[in-house]
Structure 1
Amino acid sequence: MRKKTKITIDPKYILAGLFVFCIILGIISFRFENKMTPVRSAVSSVIAPMQKGINAIGVKISERMDYATTLKKTVRKNKKLQSQIDKLSAENKLLQQDKYELENFRKLYDLDQQYAGYPKVAARVISSDPDNWYNTFIIDKGSKNGLKKNMNVMANGGLVGIITEVNKSYSKVRSIIDDNSNISGTVLGSSENCIVSGNLKLINNGVIEVSGINGDAKIEDGAEVVTSQISDKYLPGILIGYLKDLKKDSSNITQTGYLSPVVDFSSLDMVLVITQVKDSAELGEMLK
């Protein structure tokens, strides 16, 4: 079988041929310039609209690409700004929480100074009954912190209630608005004794019950009621609230009315526990 002979051309001959071809085209274009004008016009009439359309499409594509690029930059910038906003929002919440905590500590400090004669420890409310009022709740201090049953609890300028159960790390508190709460009180300025009774229905109107006041006592609305010396569980002199709407009973022997607690029982966060239990034996001596 015979091998095919491969023909090869030197590149310099190809280059020379292309050069001669370009010269010939130039001469023809120069000599027949006038005769080529109609052809050029015809070609231009066809190509011009196409070129215009192509240019318009190019402009649209360019605009779309610019829009996409701008949109991506805007999205990135928005994400960055949103991140900064989230960070500032978190910092603001922390500052608000710190302010709230500082205000609570200030109130506890003022209360501590008001009742400086009693030893106290601060505690935080960690849970309460699932209703609108803190009639019973749990605090985060217990026997390991020196707390005992029947220790008095205060907040917001006055009496909150009393500890009813103590565990190692937490305690249960029954507040003065609970239906099971009864406190011996004294009306300041008159030394009249009374009984302050919790009432979860009345507290919706911002009051609880007061009874047992001497029927002949002249007491004006707004008189302060504090815990009495003769109370068996509550230490004396702690503000409970303010009297209102006293009326004589049908027997005309005693008066009953309402008391507005000094403490807001719709929201409790921190309290002070008086780490002193009233000595019942001492009370017995006082009553002899």
Structure 2
Amino acid sequence: MESKYSKYILIVLTALCVLLIGITSLRDGVMDPLRTGVGYFLIPIQSGVNKVGTGIYNELTDFTKLKGALAENEKLKDEIARLTEDNSRLQAERSELERLRSLYQLDQDYMQYDKIGARVIARDSEKWFQVFRINKGSADGVRVDMNVMADGGLVGIVTDVGANYATVRSIIDDSSRVSAMPVGSEYSCIVAGDLTQYEQGRLRITDFSKDEVVKDGDQIVTSNISTKFLPGILIGYAVDVTVDSEHLTQSGYLIPVVDFDNLQEVFVITDVKEMEEATPQ
């Protein structure tokens, strides 16, 4: 049985070989129609396959690029966040350094007074620092009536002291009155706290002698006749001083040297005026 099938297979293979030999012996002109027919059939298929392959390749390439771009974008976002954080930290450090330099200069300007530094920890108003608390108290040597400075000039006076804190009433508070004088003058005046006026960035100054000549920009400092404020501390600059209607005194306005919108660190002068002088105000 197996021998019979083998004979048939041998006959078919022999015939196929003869056919192939005959085909290859034909001239090229005879094969042209066959090649042309095959070309019409295969070329569109090959073109379609190429387009599909190219499309798949491009999609894979674009997907790979997109994944790379997304990964790079995430890295850039992280880098931007880090740089933003570093920039914020550096700005905060720069601001603190500038404040400390200002305090150092203030310390040098008033070397005649002993001082301790303190940080503002709370305030009684959401808008301004007319009454606020600092992180130094009786345990640090702070006492009632000690003068407080910042930003190159007078801030206010200590009104209440605990072991580890103190309350300061600033010169812009409505109840504040400071005996003052122009630099180099023998005439005194009063700097009156007034939150309504401070909303316009100034305070009232009153009771100038009618004989005093006060120009815009003149420095106003604490006078030597106050029982609470030490002499010679800059308060601000005079503006718009005019003779009152009675022609007996002059009054005007003062631009405070201290920024009461933003207080963070202050100096407390540990000398107390009442202990040194008992002269009535």
> In which range does the TM-score fall when normalised by the shorter chain?
0.7 to 0.9
| 1:95 is aligned to 2:90 | yes
SS class of match (1:185): strand
Structure 1 stretch 209-218 or stretch 167-176: which is displaced more?
167-176
Quote the Cα distance in structure 2 between the aligned partners of 1:93 and 1:65. Answer: 42
Percentage of identical aligned residues: 42
CA contact (8 A) 2:178 2:190 kept: yes
Is 1:279 matched with 2:270? no
Show the counterpart of 1:110.
105
Partner of residue 73, structure 2:
78
Alignment of 1:121-270 (within 5 A): 121-270=116-265
d(CA) in 1 for partners of 2:120 and 2:235?
Answer: 20
Bigger mean CA deviation after superposition, 137-146 or 261-270 = 137-146
- The 1:41–1:255 alpha-carbon spacing in structure 2 relative to 1, beyond 3 Å, is same
Normalising by the residue count of structure 1, what TM-score does the alignment of the two structures yield?
Answer: 0.83
Is 2:57 the counterpart of 1:62?
A: yes
Return the letter of the residue paired with 2:277: L
Distance 2:67 2:10 in 1: 51
Q: Gaps (5+ residues) in structure 2?
A: none
Question: Which secondary structure state, in structure 2, belongs to the residue aligned with residue 134 of structure 1?
Answer: coil
Q: 1:18 to 1:182 in 2, by over 3 A?
A: farther
Going from structure 1 to structure 2, the CA distance change for 1:23 and 1:245 (only over 3 Å counts) comes to: farther
How many pairs are equivalent?
A: 273
Q: CA deviation at 1:55?
A: 1.2
CA RMSD of aligned residues (A): 3.0
Segments of 5+ residues of structure 1 without an aligned counterpart are 1-8
- Which of residues 29, 38, 43 is equivalent to 2:20? 29
Counterpart AA for 2:223: S
For residue 201 of structure 1, give the secondary structure of its aligned residue in structure 2. helix
Q: Do the aligned residues in 1 keep the contact of 2:157 with 2:168 (CA within 8 Å)?
A: yes
Distance change >3 Å, CA 253–CA 46, structure 1 → 2? same
Q: Which runs of 4+ in 1 moved over 4 A?
A: 17-27, 33-41
**In structure 2, distance between residues paired with 1:24 and 1:223:** 126
CA contact (8 A) 2:227 2:280 kept: no
Counterpart residue type for residue 283 of structure 1:
E
User: Could you give the per-residue CA deviations for residues 205-230 of structure 1, whole angstroms, max 9, x where no partner exists?
Assistant: 22100111112322222222211222
CA change 1:21–1:72 in 2 (3 A) is farther
CA–CA distance in structure 2, aligned partners of residues 130 and 20 of structure 1: 114
Deviates more, 1:212-221 or 1:127-136: 127-136
Q: Which amino acid aligns with 2:58?
A: E
CA distance in 2 between counterparts of 1:188 and 1:26 reads 126
Letter in 1 for 2:227: D
Distance (whole Å) between structure 2 residues aligned to residue 225 and residue 154 of structure 1 = 15
Select between 66-75 and 244-253 the one with higher mean Cα deviation. Answer: 244-253
Cα offset, 1:258, TM superposition: 0.7
